[in-house]
């Protein structure tokens, strides 16, 4: 039922772009720039109330939210809209009626936004791709071009990995990386990989790119699996570091690589041969191990990380611990397990609290109204009602399945944003 509705919506969206209005045919680009750069804001250490609400024009769906120094950029089918973090007021936008956004990414410092468009009316064999590169602070156009040298077809992963000057694509071999200039799409450098195995995710920071792979060495009884991680200079492609970690014979199924823009460390999670889980927090610029823990670090902070474990006191409760890189614990908080919510979307952490979303009904399989639960390191827990209902994908009995569009909690400069998608529109709620 849901897949049929999704297909119908997809057709209606494409149809809307295929038959633009007369005004849109004459002026397909709607571009508004900010007169001055927005003041830079920090990510809030805590939130206590709803500061603003925003809905995109034309009831478009917000695909994701990207952080920029002044707040957030909402990525739509038609383009991008920048919002001030503390107030939610629009700062600038770039939208088109003659093409559809396929991918968008932000440089680590938030100074640039890259957007890949495709023309739904392009002829067969013509990718019909146009890239625009915008100033993240003002929305001014820094470059526009039709890429010709890119190996991959345009798609959602085009700008999944963006550094300050280039965007990255995995090469043909494990650990291979190719870099292309953000301003014109031309090749800049390539890093050769090699070995037999499965390539893992790429991770980009301001000055480095980390590539990972699980390689298989030897054969028969002597076969072993190794997680290999390399750091490459994002500007020049020079190798900065390389590390290897033996992993269990389940191979890539045991490995997890994670990184968030606000983190100070790369998370490598794996199972050692004949042992248990290991979680390493690694400096992506040097490869130095900042911390090693058997517990799952679900969020990274400037001075450490946060782990989530069952509470030793028993019962259906969970303990969050703020662990510094030196191994000391600087704060803890205990709350109800909410395992269903946490498994679907674990939330985020700040220097003052853990924030998580609650949106499961009593049966654990349908949606309930969204609430934000704040668990301070020092103080009593409290909840914030973002005012989001469940008027979305409804089953025959009027309930909303939980696996339709679960909400997301996103930290951006000046606010924590709740993104919730429903059938006809998307609403962003900013918490401060």
Res. 405: pLDDT tops 70: no
Here the tokens at position 264 are 């100070």
User: Tens digits of per-residue pLDDT, 323-376?
Assistant: 988 889 988 988 877 655 455 556 888 889 999 888 777 766 677 778 899 999
User: Tens digits of per-residue pLDDT, 15-40?
Assistant: 333 345 544 554 588 999 999 988 88
Q: Is 366 exposed, middle or buried (0-12, 13-18, 19+ CB in 10 A)?
A: buried
Give backbone dihedrals phi and psi of 319, rounded to 5 degrees, phi first: -115, 130
Q: What percent of the chain has pLDDT over 70?
A: 79
pLDDT of residue 402: 52
pLDDT of residue 423: 44
Most confident of 90-94, 178-182, 304-308, 350-354: 90-94
**How confident is residue 301, by pLDDT bands cut at 50, 70 and 90?**
confident
CA distance 26 to 334: 59
pLDDT of residue 126: 67
**How confident is residue 403, by pLDDT bands cut at 50, 70 and 90?**
low
**How confident is residue 115, by pLDDT bands cut at 50, 70 and 90?**
very high
Most confident of 68-72, 248-252, 304-308: 68-72
**How confident is residue 400, by pLDDT bands cut at 50, 70 and 90?**
low
User: Tens digits of per-residue pLDDT, 309-319?
Assistant: 877 776 678 88
**How confident is residue 70, by pLDDT bands cut at 50, 70 and 90?**
very high
**How confident is residue 69, by pLDDT bands cut at 50, 70 and 90?**
very high
**Which pTM was predicted?**
0.84
pLDDT of residue 22: 45
In Å, what is the CA distance from 304 to each residue of 43, 311, 320?
16, 21, 13
Mean pLDDT (the chain, rounded): 80
Here the tokens at position 175 are 């650990």
User: Tens digits of per-residue pLDDT, 117-149?
Assistant: 988 776 666 667 899 999 999 999 999 998 876
User: Tens digits of per-residue pLDDT, 265-288?
Assistant: 888 888 888 778 889 989 888 999
Q: For the chain, how long is the longest CA-to-CA vector?
A: 70
pLDDT of residue 119: 84
């Amino acid at each position: 039922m849901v897949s049929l509705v999704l297909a119908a919506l997809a057709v209606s969206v494409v149809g809307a772009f295929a038959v633009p209005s007369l005004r849109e045919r004459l002026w397909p680009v709607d571009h508004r720039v900010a007169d001055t750069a927005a003041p830079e804001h920090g990510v809030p250490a805590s939130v206590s109330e709803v500061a603003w609400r925003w809905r995109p024009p034309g009831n478009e769906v917000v695909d994701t939210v990207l952080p920029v120094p002044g707040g957030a950029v909402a990525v739509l089918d038609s383009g991008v809209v920048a919002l001030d973090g503390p107030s939610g007021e629009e700062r600038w936008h770039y939208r088109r009626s003659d093409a559809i956004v396929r991918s968008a990414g932000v440089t680590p410092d938030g100074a640039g936004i890259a957007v890949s468009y495709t023309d739904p009316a392009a002829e067969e064999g013509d990718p019909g791709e146009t890239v625009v590169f915008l100033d993240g602070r003002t929305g001014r156009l820094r470059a526009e071009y039709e890429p010709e040298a890119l190996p991959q077809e345009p798609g959602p992963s085009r700008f999944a990995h963006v550094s300050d000057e280039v965007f990255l694509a995995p090469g043909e071999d494990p650990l291979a990386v190719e870099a292309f200039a953000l301003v014109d799409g031309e090749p800049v450098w390539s890093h050769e990989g090699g070995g037999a195995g499965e390539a893992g995710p790429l991770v980009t920071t301001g000055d480095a790119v980390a590539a990972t792979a699980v390689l298989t060495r030897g054969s028969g009884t002597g076969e072993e699996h190794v997680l290999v991680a390399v750091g490459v200079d994002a500007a020049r492609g020079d190798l900065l570091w390389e590390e290897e970690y033996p992993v269990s014979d389940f191979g890539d199924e045991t490995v997890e690589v994670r990184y968030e823009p606000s983190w100070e460390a790369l998370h490598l999670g794996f199972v050692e041969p004949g042992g248990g889980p290991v979680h390493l927090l690694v400096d992506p610029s040097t490869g130095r191990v900042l911390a090693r823990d058997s517990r799952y670090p679900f969020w990274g902070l400037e001075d450490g990380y946060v782990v989530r474990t069952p509470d030793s006191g028993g019962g259906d409760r969970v303990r969050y611990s703020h662990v510094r890189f030196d191994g000391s614990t600087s704060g803890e908080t205990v709350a109800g397990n909410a395992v269903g919510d946490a498994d679907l979307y674990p939330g985020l952490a700040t220097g003052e609290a853990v924030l998580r979303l609650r949106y499961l009904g009593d049966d654990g399989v349908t949606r309930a109204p969204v609430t934000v639960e704040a668990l301070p390191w020092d103080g009593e827990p409290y909840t914030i009602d973002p005012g989001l209902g469940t008027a979305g994908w409804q089953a025959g009995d009027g309930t909303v399945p939980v696996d339709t569009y679960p909400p997301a909690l996103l930290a951006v400069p000046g606010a924590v944003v709740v993104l919730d998608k429903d059938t006809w529109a998307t609403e962003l709620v900013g918490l401060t």
